[in-house]
């Protein structure tokens, strides 16, 4: 894992679910690391963790923590990012931020490497990692957009509780056990910890992820709508989203309806296109009941696509089912991919290595 000619990498939010996945992904992908700095809140500072046989001490994240850092992967909440990401940049680091703090900032690229890697050339020190549900959808849609054009997108999501953090997974597990034993439950986390009402997630579906906005859509739905347009450079693209939380631990699923600009395209042609699309695994064999499921995607960096079929009424309309590990491709892996792309494009060497 450690290389003399590698990079000094910092992970902010190292004790969180996504932070831990970031660290493991760096190890799995053999990312060229010279030095690894693990940062978290004061509460976690001083904890010891062993990574790839080397013991590390978690440090409190402060502005001075980024001295000498080349790449800083942030996943510690939007307020921390707003406070410390600019400080990291001042110290010469390139920040890949996994929160919503900078995603819609006009001067900050929002990047999914399979879709808009070229936007990395426009960064000024901070790069935003998109929302997990947006990432998997645009990976599946981009090859279609490139070949056939894209006129409209309507998505309904079926999202895992891990998107709300480790405490939401714990709540799902505890509620499930309690209800199976005939006990009552007192929800405390979902749909939104800071909202006024909380609902049972075990044996339930909650049609709210994040807080409602004035237009009746939730913040999660608006993230999908606005981020898709920004990533794909299609500001006028009609996009609508309905985001639902399901009692699944890991793995987001999406039912995506899309309309293309080209005439006379069949579902089989879409399937053939996606067979070789970067980051996509096609699982589409209805006769043998082969289709993507969250239980089978956990631990994979890929986006799985299936159930591709023509709409019965709109000749240019299609439906597909998209599944991915929301902690990996939806967060940790996409962040590390961005860092890999920065190296490949020579952008870290240009800015930080002189």
Q: What is the 3-state secondary structure (H, E, C) of 231-248?
A: HCCCCCCCEEEEEEECCC
Beta-carbon contacts of residue 121 (< 8 Å; ≥ 6 apart) = 345, 347
Note if 91 is an active site residue.
no
Residue 248 Cα to chain centre, angstroms? 17
| Cβ atoms of 335 and 112 closer than 8 Å | no
Beta-carbon contacts of residue 329 (< 8 Å; ≥ 6 apart) = 132, 135, 136, 139, 279, 300, 301, 302, 303
CB atoms within 10 A of CB 283: 16
- % helix / strand / coil in the chain, to the nearest 5? 35, 25, 40
Burial classification of residue 145, based on how many CB atoms lie within 10 Å of its CB (0-12 exposed, 13-18 middle, 19 or more buried): buried
Q: Tokens in use for 338?
A: 């961005």
Which residues, in sequence order, are bridge partners of residue 12?
39, 74
Beta-carbon contacts of residue 319 (< 8 Å; ≥ 6 apart) = 255, 256, 257, 307, 308, 309, 311
8, 243, 252, 297: the active-site residue: 252
Note if 233 is an active site residue.
no
Question: How far lies 265's CA from each of 78, 260, 322, in Å?
Answer: 42, 9, 20
Specify the DSSP class assigned to residue 345.
T
123, 132, 243, 297: the active-site residue: 132
Beta-carbon contacts of residue 127 (< 8 Å; ≥ 6 apart) = 94, 95, 96, 97, 108, 109, 111, 120, 338, 342
Q: Tokens in use for 342?
A: 């920065």
| Cβ atoms of 325 and 250 closer than 8 Å | yes
- From edge to edge, which strands make up the β-sheet containing 317-324? 239-245, 152-159, 252-259, 317-324, 303-310, 280-282
Question: Which residues have a catalytic role annotated?
Answer: 132, 252
């Amino acid at each position: 894992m450690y290389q003399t000619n590698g990079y000094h990498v910092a992970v902010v939010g190292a004790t969180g679910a996504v932070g831990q996945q970031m660290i493991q992904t760096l190890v799995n992908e053999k990312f060229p690391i010279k030095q690894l700095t693990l940062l978290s809140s004061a509460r976690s500072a001083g904890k010891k963790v062993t990574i790839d046989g080397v013991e590390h001490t978690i440090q409190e994240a402060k502005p001075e923590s980024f001295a000498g850092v080349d790449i800083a992967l942030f996943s510690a909440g939007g307020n921390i990012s707003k406070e410390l990401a600019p400080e990291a940049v001042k110290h010469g680091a390139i920040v890949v931020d996994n929160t919503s703090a900078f995603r819609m900032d006009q001067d900050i690229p929002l990047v999914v490497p399979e879709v808009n890697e070229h936007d990395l050339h426009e960064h000024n020190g901070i790069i935003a990692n998109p929302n997990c549900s947006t990432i998997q959808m645009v990976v599946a849609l981009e090859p279609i957009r490139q070949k056939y054009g894209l006129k409209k997108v309507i998505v309904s999501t079926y999202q895992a509780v891990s998107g709300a953090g480790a405490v939401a997974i714990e709540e799902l597990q505890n509620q499930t056990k309690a209800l199976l034993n005939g006990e009552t439950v007192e929800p405390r986390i979902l749909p939104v910890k800071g909202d006024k009402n909380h609902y049972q997630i075990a044996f339930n579906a909650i049609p709210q992820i994040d807080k409602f906005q004035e237009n009746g859509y939730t913040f999660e739905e608006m993230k999908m709508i606005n981020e898709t347009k920004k990533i794909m450079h299609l500001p006028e693209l009609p996009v609508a989203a309905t985001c639902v939380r399901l009692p699944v631990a890991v793995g987001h699923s999406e039912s995506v309806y899309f309309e293309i600009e080209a005439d006379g395209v069949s579902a089989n042609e879409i399937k053939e296109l996606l067979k070789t699309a970067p980051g996509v695994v096609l699982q589409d064999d209805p006769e043998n009941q082969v289709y993507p499921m969250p239980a089978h995607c956990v631990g994979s960096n890929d986006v799985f696509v299936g159930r591709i079929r023509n709409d019965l009424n709109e000749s240019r309309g299609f439906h597909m089912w998209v599944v991915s590990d929301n902690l990996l491709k939806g967060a940790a892996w996409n962040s590390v991919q961005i860092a890999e792309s920065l190296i490949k494009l020579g952008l870290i060497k240009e800015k930080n290595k002189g």
